[in-house]
A and B are shown apart, each in its own frame.
Chain A
């Protein structure tokens, strides 16, 4: 194994599986999806078809070498558009139903901060209905959005995000990169836990270590990969600050802390057993737990000693209804104020009602069809591009998703660090698709699209539309195979590409707003859920991950908390 190989493997391990956000829309794992998986097939991808077959189609490699981290990511996105390892589908929208008795704006990261809800006309209490209840209240012992939305009312992190996704300070009053693998957070004064005790830097260091170290806090946290690269934290002697160490540069460390790592009180955690921590809460957030009726509802009261202004709502109740129509009926019946995941078929009912309205926002989740790069006929770039040209994405978005989606043409979503605005969705061109299939040598191919059912918004209907449009090509036939999500996820996460279907629909959420956390796990040779391997993509990402992204040409928050403009420089 060459040094370069070792280097690449270590950087990918450092970045971890980077399962970002809710990853497979809340998939809680499955298989041995470790970061160094894919040994054998993916690792041997150096001479694969994609490397030889189309990397220069539009002259990507004739362009000057990128200079900044963002340019490297943009270049990778351009290459991944040209190589077409996926059939690029849609960016999913988060669609909420909101009662007229409250004011609230949906966030792009699918989080519902009740602190931002403004009750109207003297209303004091707010009720939120999700699709599912929590799996326990320990803020470090879950990785699903419904649990997040309950826990985040009482717990907070060092950093947060505004509704547009920009980084803001929360329990940290300052943050900076001290050296390559070390960053520092200054801890806010005057913050108290709901128990009444004051927040100390020791609590912050303990919280970080509880997530990243298996032997701290009596828990092997399933969130460890959400702080990918972080190796531990310690209190800065004599100062109200914490030093966080990473294995390498870790360019997205602040993005990670803006999305993850709730702060808990060390003594409270150490004094109680897991089952107690899972059914009680002691955070610093705007609401404190009042009653926990597991599987049914969680009630909160406003925390009057909150370090910011107390929340506008005096009390808060979060419940769940698995059936979307039940949630919508509750909203229209005036029994709840905010419901999640309003399906397209019910959107009209909400819009037409006098007591509620829709709030829709592009989410951080992309829906795509992966085409495994070393399996016939998907080992041909021409064939993969043909599949993209065969799909009428606009029609799917209009007819299947009622317009609640955006088309995509690269793995990174608009507004993320590394998004390449030169790259648009593929045009629908069945004739060109047919000729590309001929060129690929796979005319007459029969392919099967595997899809989970009910996991993502209209997943089966999207898959059926895609398959039907591909099947309309004269030289390819395509059918749909419906799959149990857990079984499919297990096949994708077991680190062995040969066990996964060659063509499958899946969704990926990335709440770090950084391209690397989509490309590394899904499209690099050693990614936990990869379906693709290209030395050039690996190299571009490796370069990007060795840079901090701070300075000219970067976007998003830098180490000093500054927001620099979105550089539209192309790659």
Chain B
């Protein structure tokens, strides 16, 4: 099978999974007690008024009609309208997506930057204090619930020592670099009114950039560490075991026998092979992080998809909830396909 066919097959499988996600998410509304009419109707609404509201919301038609209309709407990028405010669900959801993606990427960077060196140190200094320290850290990281960790970090580093803000997000990464390069992307990724342009202004205001970037960084550090800790621990263990396995392989022995320096043997040969499964897990975990950010976002009042999901559940605003869940699901599928593609590219035997 060619790489192209492999990719096509995976994409088609992804489409089926997304369709399954959409169907389940759509049906959730029907198996949950209560009607959308209850969300908007006055307490003393007459049956006639309730029927009128049901008509306006489009929930008075047979389930299959609503389902196919919803599917057709999704293909056009239309996720419906908020029951409560009448605003477009897609605009609401995509306005919050960048914050979640930013947090997910930051958590991944924190995790990879810490875990790979830790794993390597742990493997190359086996049964030494640094190995025990790294292994203990991994165990703690995997065992610690991230909501608890988040609260502790805030209490110590934000409330007690005032190093970081306790919560919230001052502005997005793109805005933080706005002093250096003014970037705005057309479409729903930026709030309305910001325009569409790519401008590089000279001379570059590096000082202002430094200040805004530092502010941006100060807000994202604690949530990124909180979200990334479990991930860090996981990758550390994976890197350690992978390195240990690779260092015992015969090609490593051969390299050493050839007289290659140990540094070259470890980092050029053993580590590169170790990183293949690590890259796969990192990719897959990013998908998990998008969904798992819900709790971290709640603890840090981070205005991402997780916060939107919680608000939508509390308000029973189904179009917003469905839209958010579908975007999270699609994100997971896309990341999976990308990881499969990268893995297949790196290791062509998978395709065969």
Chain A interface residues toward B at CB < 8 A:
16-17, 19, 23, 28-35, 132-133, 135-138, 141-142, 214, 220-225, 273-275, 278-279, 293-296, 319-323, 325-326, 329-330, 332-333, 335, 484, 486-487, 490, 493, 528
Contact = CB atoms under 8 A, between A and B. Distances in A.
A23 B42 CA distance: 12
A275 B85 CA distance: 6
Given A136-B87, A490-B38, A32 B308 contact: no
Contacts of B299: 323, 326
A486 B34 contact: yes
Contact of A220 (B42, B86, B311): B42
Interface string B308-352: 101100111100000000000000000000000000000000000
B121 interface: no
Contacts of A225: 42-44
Chain A contact surface mostly: loop
> Which of B92, B167, B298 has most A Cβ within 10 Å?
B167
Contact of A294 (B39, B87, B300, B315): B87
B191 interface: yes
B88 interface: yes
Nearest to A228: B44
Contact of A135 (B46, B52, B81, B315): B315
Given A294-B95, A296-B303, A333-B166, A23 B43 contact: yes
Contact of A275 (B34, B86, B95): B86
A295 B96 contact: yes
Contacts of B39: 28-29
A28 B307 CA distance: 20
B41 interface: yes
A220 B49 contact: yes
Interface in B23-73: 33-34, 38-47, 49-50, 52-53
A324 to B, nearest CB: 11
Contacts of B45: 32, 34, 220, 224
A295 B44 contact: no
A28 B44 contact: no
Contacts of A320: 301
A487 B33 contact: yes
A32 B85 CA distance: 22
Interface stretch (B153-161, B206-214, B227-235, B268-276): B153-161
B170 to A, nearest CB: 10
Contacts of A493: 43
Contacts of A30: 34, 38
B159 A135 contact: no
Contact of A293 (B41, B44, B47, B191): B191
B34 A295 contact: no
A29 B38 contact: yes
B84 interface: yes
Given A34-B46, A135-B85, 17 more contacts: A29-B43, A34-B43, A136-B87, A141-B85, A214-B52, A224-B44, A275-B85, A275-B88, A278-B87, A279-B85, A322-B307, A322-B310, A326-B301, A329-B167, A332-B159, A486-B34, A490-B33
Given A295-B308, A486-B316, A490-B38, A333 B158 contact: yes
